[in-house]
């Protein structure tokens, strides 16, 4: 059986799934995907960005492993400082299902200038509520709402979250809702 692979720019307000609650928006609205398609990892309903889809469970397991980096750009409330970025790098304590967890060290840096994403379908907030800034966070782990919890733990809650990279695959110029079929992901165990 020949497996099929897709990249999608998951827009804000969609679930990373194909079936579920009738009132929720799902990925199947963007393309006629083959039977057996699955999202590799997830982005919550409020998050956007690169999502890999496949009919190959083995590829899915590899991409979700701690061997593959996932990079996120987070727009945060306030002007994030170097001390907060350093805390993100070394690991912070967050709550996962009422259990305290210390995140693994990761890569983090301020983004200046801010990335040039298209405006989100739902406005984030007005400028009168104060400044915002952007930070890049690259993880190899993937706990529930981890990036949002990490930025909040250092005093800069996430307002917008976009996954821009999985391994060597970049979101690039893929527009929100756009789907691109690819021959493979080029991700190998190293």
Q: Are 61 and 75 in contact (CB under 8 A)?
A: no
For the question of residue 44 being annotated catalytic, the response is yes
Phi-psi category of residue 106: left, alpha or beta, with phi > 0 → left and psi -120 to 50 → alpha = beta
Would you give the DSSP letter of residue 73?
E
Catalytic residue chosen out of the listed positions 32, 44, 112, 126: 44
Strand 14-15 relative to strand 25-26, pairing:
parallel
* DSSP bridge pairs for 161: 74
127 class by beta-carbon count within 10 Å (0-12 exposed, 13-18 middle, 19+ buried): exposed
Neighbours of 99 (CB within 10 A): 7
CA distance 170 to 84: 26
Residues designated as active site? 44
């Amino acid at each position: 059986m020949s497996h099929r692979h897709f990249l999608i720019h998951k827009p804000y307000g969609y679930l990373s799934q194909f079936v579920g609650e009738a009132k929720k928006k799902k990925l199947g609205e963007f393309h006629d995907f083959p039977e057996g398609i699955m999202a590799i990892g997830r982005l919550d309903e409020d998050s956007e960005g690169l999502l890999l889809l496949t009919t190959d469970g083995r590829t899915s397991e590899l991409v979700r492993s701690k061997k593959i980096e996932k990079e996120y750009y987070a727009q945060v409330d306030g002007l994030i400082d170097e001390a907060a970025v350093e805390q993100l790098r070394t690991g912070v304590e967050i709550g996962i299902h009422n259990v305290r967890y210390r995140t693994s060290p990761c890569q983090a840096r301020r983004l200046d200038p801010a990335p040039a994403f298209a405006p989100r379908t739902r406005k984030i907030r007005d400028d009168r509520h104060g400044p915002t800034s952007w930070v890049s966070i690259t993880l190899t782990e993937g706990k529930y709402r981890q990036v949002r919890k990490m930025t909040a733990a250092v005093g800069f809650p996430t307002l917008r979250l976009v996954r821009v990279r999985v391994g060597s695959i970049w979101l690039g110029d893929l527009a929100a809702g756009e789907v691109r079929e690819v021959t493979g992901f080029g991700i190998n165990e190293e």
